[in-house]
Amino acid sequence: MITKKTLKNCHKGIIKMEQIKNYIKKLKENKSLIPMLVAIVLAFVMFLTIFMPYASATEEYAERLEQYSDYYALEELDMNGEDFINISMAKYAKVYSKMSEDIFGDSATGVLYVVLVVLIAIFAIGALVFAFFKKPIAVIVFDILAFVVFCIQNWDYKDRGVIPSDNYNWGGAYYIFIICAIAVLVCAVASIILKKIFEKKTVGG
């Protein structure tokens, strides 16, 4: 004979089973979120590379910059020779924007380099924000945009013979950015795949 107590215990058991299922579901969902957490960190590093050494002076040229620091100083920018041993993207943009007429013969060209760096920063932050909100497709879009602008900038520096050159090689930021951009793309794709696998298992089971 089924009593009220038995029914009550069964009801409690069903509730507990549902709670366990929901807990397991959340754990599985978190697996698909791990790549997005990694992407947040990587996108932030992409942003930081703007202030890291984009170009590093060769050993011989670095010694010359240190030895004749005052000779290579630029009073307009409050920079001396030692400041040019390692040059970041932000520092290049500052130099080109302030001394555009002296370097390029007009004031407009220097602004272009500021725009390139700003776009890289915006797209990197965009990838970070969308990774935070778990939007992998948007992360892919912004990551690719950041990488494309970065490549355009690299092409320009190569084409003008700035980097690499007899005096400068690519700095750490150049390689870090490329690695992080590729890794962010991989993380976003992995997140999409893991989410689809989980959805199929949920529907099937």
Residue with tokens 């058991």: 13
pLDDT of residue 204: 56
Question: Which of 156, 144, 140, 152 has the alpha carbon at shortest distance from 188?
Answer: 140
Residue with tokens 């009073």: 75
pLDDT of residue 29: 56
- The alpha carbon dihedral of 146, 149, 154, 157 has a sign of negative
Kindly report the pTM of this predicted structure.
0.82
Taking the chain (205 residues) in runs of 10, the rounded mean pLDDT of each run is 50 59 57 86 98 96 87 76 91 90 84 96 98 94 98 96 94 98 96 80 58
Other beta carbons less than 10 A from residue 162's beta carbon: 14
Q: How many Å is the maximal CA-CA distance in the chain?
A: 101
DSSP tag of 68: T
pLDDT of residue 32: 67
pLDDT of residue 165: 94
Contact 142, 127 (CB under 8 A): yes
Which amino acid appears at position 69 of this protein? S
pLDDT of residue 105: 82
